[in-house]
Amino acid sequence: MDLSELESRISNDTSPVSAARELLRERYNADAEAFRQGADVRALVHSRANTVDTVLRLIWNRYPFSSSPDIALVAVGGYGRGELHPQSDIDLLILTRSGIEDCWQDDLSSFITLLWDLKLDIGHSVRSIEESKAAAREDVTILTNLLETRTIAGPDELRNELSTQVYDDGVSTDRDYFIAKRQEQRDRHNKYGDTEYNLEPNVKGSPGALRDIQTIGWITKRHFGLQNIADLTRFSILTEEEHQILFQGETFLWQLRYGLQLLADRPENRLLFDHQRALAQMLGYHDEGKRLGVELMMQSYYRTVLALAELTDVILQYYDEAILGTGTADDIQPLNKRFQIRNRYIEAVNNQVFAYAPYAIMEIFVLMAQHPEIKGIRATTIRSLRAHRHLVDDAFRSDLAVTTLFMELLRTPHALDQTLSAMKKYNVLGRYLPEFGQIIGQMQHDLFHIYTVDAHTMRVIRNMVRLNSAEARTEYPLASRLIHRLPKLETLYIAGIYHDVAKGRGGDHSELGAIDAEAFCQRHHLSERDTKLVSWLVENHLLMSMTAQRKDISDPDIIHNFAQAVPSQAHLDYLYVLTVCDISATNPKLWNT
């Protein structure tokens, strides 16, 4: 539809609904087809916002209040950023200088009614500048929405005045805002099980997904007054490489969300099984050998959010130091010639440590395991780690110093799952154990597993560690007793790491995994006895669960055959503990008496 024709129809028709609907339908359909043909999703997201801007502005200008200098139509939130996905809310603020005048009441009611008639997903509020300030002071979500605004119609100075006041410390200090958004992020991560690896992840709210990128943007706007995350490169907070990771990751997530909402035809941010296969086809993923196109798409998703989670750590840690810094001298605790703790974060004494001593790539995680007071890795050291992790090659994997450090890590009494998860997040674990690297983001399509293979494996290790806790004695009474009589816990942990490592390759993953586990044990100089035990556990990790769940355990022959398959009481103890931890890690709701 020609814009001048649209303007004429909306301005002059008794009801502009039909003309506006026609324009929206035309543009939405054209954008949807362009997306299917591979158009730039960023251009489409901004194009959709521009289309809605045009309709809203023309409808607003029908009313007498549109000429007043004391009222404006303002886009807020995601729409305020100029972003609009197919089923996104259109958040509006009708902003007044000092309140609603009586002569506006009926016209404003008519304006809102027209928007509902257009079937637009409108979220709106009507506030004066002072009322908006008061609301922002009370609610961090409202404050966040008001950090991202655009004037659609009316005088822009009203929005500028509001923005100036919203950024004032009287509404919220940098410190208070950062603490609130960081807690909001933690609560959101807990809601999604603190894992980006659910098989039906939320592309908006899951860890490492769009909301985390937006959190960085909000804190950036509040602290620096910047409108674009890219500007952080000028402050040396982001390197060019990191900005590319952020930009490309967001673009990929936008593609998923845009396509998902076209398929679902409703406000949907979850990558439900019902839509994954169709979405993969829409985005051009094809089967490759034994790997399905949908599996390749989902693995791209999981690896993208893993990289974004790593980057989010770096940026939020910078803000932690810059915004929440105590203003006092740093608390520095030397650990050895290569590492020290600064304000509870471990850091390399210089950025070349990993270059002249590559084994330090493993050592840093051992030190984290040995010092539970460490909150994480300092941002500068994360960057150095990223720059040098290409040194994790075959020579590194065979280095006696490195293999000794990894075994020391497994033998250190601590939350091993957290350390291994950190190694995975910083892309060290998948490089050190390439066979594990292959299952990062590997889906499991069955009735039981709700996590990817690597996330499931980390939960198995977590369950093993938790067996030493008081609550485990109630939940897993036998396993929590048996864990204390296992001669070497590291053999259990190795079996846990390798039990599903061969999934997705084709063939029997238990047999293939046993071969990988044996090679690991030999490379790490375990005794022949321990090597055989680990290999047996991996090859037979399903033996007990299959017998218990799929066979008649009141049949003496079944019991006899099972007993013959288990070489010793020690094997039985290890297998029982591994089985309990494995079943409990497939799905939190699966375990029962």
Q: How far is the C-alpha of 95 from the C-alpha of 428, rounded, in Å?
A: 51
Please give the mean pLDDT across all residues of the chain.
90
Band (1; pLDDT cuts 50, 70, 90): low
With both helix axes pointing from N to C terminus, report the angle between 129-138 and 156-166 in degrees, rounded to the nearest 10.
30
Measured between alpha carbons, how far is residue 570 from residues 76, 89, 339 in Å? Answer: 63, 59, 40
Closest by CA position to 439, among listed 504, 389, 516, 499: 504
- Is the pLDDT reported for residue 327 higher than 70? no
Q: Which of 69-78, 105-114, 318-327 has the lowest mean pLDDT?
A: 318-327
Architecture of the domain delimited by 175-324: Up-down Bundle (1.20)
- Is the pLDDT reported for residue 131 higher than 80? yes
With both helix axes pointing from N to C terminus, report the angle between 400-411 and 489-498 in degrees, rounded to the nearest 10.
110
* Per-residue model confidence (pLDDT) at position 236: 64
Average pLDDT of 552-567?
A: 95
Average pLDDT of 193-213?
A: 82
Q: Which helix (H) or strand (E) holds 332?
A: strand 332-334
Q: First-to-last CA distance in the chain? A: 65
The structural domains of the chain, with segments of one domain joined by +, span 3-172, 175-324, 326-431, 433-593
Q: How far is the C-alpha of 540 from the C-alpha of 552, rounded, in Å?
A: 19
Say which residues have a Cβ less than 8 Å from residue 88's Cβ, sequence separation at least 6.
78, 79, 121, 261, 267
Tell me which of 3.40.50.1100, 1.10.132.20, 1.10.275.10, 1.10.357.170 is the CATH number of domain 3-172.
Answer: 1.10.357.170
Tens-digit pLDDT profile for residues 23-54: 888 889 999 999 999 999 999 999 999 999 99
At 360, the amino acid letter reads A
Tens-digit pLDDT profile for residues 144-187: 999 889 999 999 999 999 988 888 888 888 888 988 998 998 88
Task: Please provide the CATH number assigned to the domain covering 433-593.
Answer: 1.10.3210
- Is the pLDDT reported for residue 234 higher than 70? no
* Per-residue model confidence (pLDDT) at position 8: 77
Measured between alpha carbons, how far is residue 391 from residues 25, 363, 387, 444, 495 in Å? Answer: 54, 14, 9, 31, 26
- Is the pLDDT reported for residue 196 higher than 60? no
Q: What percent of the chain has pLDDT over 70?
A: 95
Its pTM stands at: 0.86
Architecture of the domain delimited by 326-431: Orthogonal Bundle (1.10)
Tens-digit pLDDT profile for residues 369-427: 999 999 899 988 998 999 999 999 999 999 999 999 999 999 999 999 999 999 999 99
